[in-house]
Chains A and B, each alone.
Chain A
Amino acid sequence: MRAPRVYQTEAIVLKRIKLGEADRILTFYTPDLGKLRAVAKGVRRPKSKLGGHVELLTHSLIMLARGRNLDIVTQSQTINGFLVLKGDLWRLSRGLYALELVDSFTAERIENRPIFDLLLSTLHWLCQVGDGNIILRYFELQLLNYLGYRPQLQQCVSCNLPLQPIDNFFSSSRGGVLCPECAGKDPARRTLTLNSLKVLRLWQSCDCATASRVKINSQLSSELEQLMREYIKYLLEREVKSAAWLDRLNKEKL
């Protein structure tokens, strides 16, 4: 059977690029088709019927028509516009960071429903009160899990022996924790304090509500942030652009 000419899907808008006079190429993340790109015609005109329904950080129901090259968005209806997220500089910036991670790590038209669910829940969590940093770290860990990059936190990645309750080392290139005996061989290792290891292990296995209940001080928070960012940078082989923006907001204390 031939694929239908028009089809409908839920989608979260990840990215948009200007095209021609008033069009845009949109990148969506969908539950059944994974990441997909489509053209939205005339969206940059003020009276466009699609306009606000296909903004970044919007969960929409979209109708697409198969095109020769890229598919074309014909209708769209907002399911959740995440107004709280868009009205606050910090929440908005964290939301954009989550979008960029999903966009960078996924390939087009490869279905991965858990990632869609995770992204959608993360946007909801970011709307609620709570430590945004914890939500982002939890999101990163879970995302890596669904992508197949789950860091090994139970045993040493080199000697496979269970980790002792002491400060160990984390190696991005090995994708997990090294015990002090094996760490000497890895030049790119970084210290992983016992507290960090405990928090990471918990976050890897619990739900977000439990994860948010963890109280961490700013030192531990920044250690975890650096560690995750280094690991992600290693996997992507480049910096995550919106991370620089989060750093700047942090530095200027806005």
Chain B
Amino acid sequence: MALRTFTSTAKPIARLIEEFNKLPGIGPKSAQRLAYYLLRVPTEQARDLAEAISAVKGKIGLCSICFNITDSDPCSICRDEGRDHTKICVVEEPSDIIPLERTGKFNGAYHVLHGVIAPTEGMGPEELKIEQLLSRLQNSSVTEVILATNPNLEGEATAMYLQRLISPLGIRVTRLARGLPFGGDLEYADDVTLSRALEERQEV
């Protein structure tokens, strides 16, 4: 279908444009720009890109312990003996680990759910890595589970559900604090955020 649009273009370029076009957020014009840009770059640079793409698909998989994206199993965080493996931080997506790591405040292990419970979209617990989390917690030295799902309705539902499943195991369950964002504005804060910020206020 898309090939027909580029009948005047050489076939390999038309194919490249078509492939770029499939990427999220890239429309036909951006795809064209990228393709013509690659035509002009040195051969090595183009080859590096091609290799990087095929390496991603060939070597990358999920860590069998925490289900983070990794090129070695178990992943570097799960293997790291310097980290505190008695604390597990539960996140929705692999990309959520990056900002948490950037803070440098957490030295425990992670568990990636790969989604969130969304009843109205038919997304239930069986589609997530919840069973794996529970079996990971059973007979383990884990003392605390930190629920770091997003502070929206689905994230809250997932956190409440997990809390009910994990508490009976005698493990401490905590949730990331909810309050005002740094650089924010009280005037625009919503009731839920503001009331939680008040409830969880701290001595200065």
Contacts and interface: CB of A to CB of B under 8 A. Distances in A.
Given A242-B120, A245-B117, A245-B119, A92 B157 contact: yes
Interface stretch (A48-56, A113-121, A180-188): A48-56
B124 A46 contact: no
B83 to A, nearest CB: 27
A52 B192 contact: yes
Contacts of A52: 189-193
Contacts of A103: 120
Interface in A43-89: 46-47, 49, 51-53, 55-58, 78, 81, 83, 86, 88-89
Contacts of A245: 117, 119, 124
B151 to A, nearest CB: 9
Interface stretch (A2-10, A94-102, A135-143, A225-233): A94-102
B120 A55 contact: no
Chain B, interface residues (CB within 8 Å), range: 20 to 34
B161 A96 contact: no
B185 interface: yes
B25 interface: yes
Contact of A49 (B121, B125, B185): B185
A172 to B, nearest CB: 22
Given A86-B156, A92-B153, A99 B193 contact: no
B183 interface: yes
Nearest to A79: B191
B153 A89 contact: no
B122 A89 contact: no
Given A20-B25, A52-B193, A86-B192, A96 B181 contact: no
Contacts of B184: 46-47
Contacts of A22: none
A202 B119 CA distance: 30
Chain A CB within 10 A, most for which of B117, B181, B183, B190: B190
Contact of A248 (B124, B164, B183): B124
B195 interface: yes
Given A52-B192, A92-B157, A47 B121 contact: no
A86 B158 CA distance: 12
Nearest to A13: B153
Nearest to B158: A89
B152 to A, nearest CB: 6
Contact of B191 (A49, A57, A81, A246): A81
B188 interface: yes
Nearest to A52: B190
A103 B121 CA distance: 12
Interface of B: 25, 117, 119-122, 124-125, 152-153, 156-157, 160-161, 164-165, 181, 183-185, 188-193, 195
* 3 closest residue pairs by CB, A with B: A52-B190, A245-B119, A242-B119
Given A49-B185, A241-B119, A241-B120, 13 more contacts: A20-B25, A49-B188, A52-B192, A52-B193, A55-B190, A83-B192, A89-B157, A89-B164, A92-B153, A103-B120, A241-B121, A241-B122, A244-B119
